[in-house]
Amino acid sequence: MGTAMANEMLIGGRKLTALEAYACGLVSHVFWPSSFMQEVIPRVQNIVENSSKAMQMSKALIRSNNRAKMENANECECSMLEKCWTSLEGYKAIAKYIEKNKDIYI
């Protein structure tokens, strides 16, 4: 996903369609509801025929390259969220949201 689309989602609150998520590489396949089971069952059967240990090791290898980056990004995000939530502006926004939805929280 490019920076422009990420900004649009994070800052503008835009949601992706399934086809857009596919085009950005966030998902590997998109299935229509009417053919979902016919598409998924053969794929699942193929997966379960493989060695579970080999699958576990493959997943670990794939994830190991991104783990440090994801942990660092998570730490940065948590730090920024804390600053946002503890600021006067953040406090006012939270109070406004709770007041607007008080029937849910009270």
User: pLDDT tens digit string along 29-43?
Assistant: 999 999 999 999 999
The model's confidence at residue 80, banded by pLDDT at 50, 70 and 90, is very high
CB 22 within 8 A of CB 29: yes
* End-to-end Cα distance, the chain: 40
What is the rounded distance in angstroms from the CA atom of residue 56 to the CA atom of residue 37? 25
What is the number of alpha carbons within 13 Å of residue 101 lying toward its C-beta? Answer: 7
Q: Which two tokens stand for residue 13?
A: 């609150």
pLDDT digits (tens, 9 = 90+) for 14-66: 899 999 999 988 899 999 999 999 999 999 999 899 888 998 998 888 888 88
Name the maximum alpha-carbon separation found in the chain.
56
Q: What are the start-end ranges of the H helices in 1-106?
A: 3-12, 18-23, 36-48, 52-86, 88-100, 102-105
pTM exceeds 0.95, yes or no: no
CA distance 77 to 67: 15
pLDDT over 90 for what percent of the chain?
47
- For residue 105, pLDDT beyond 80: no
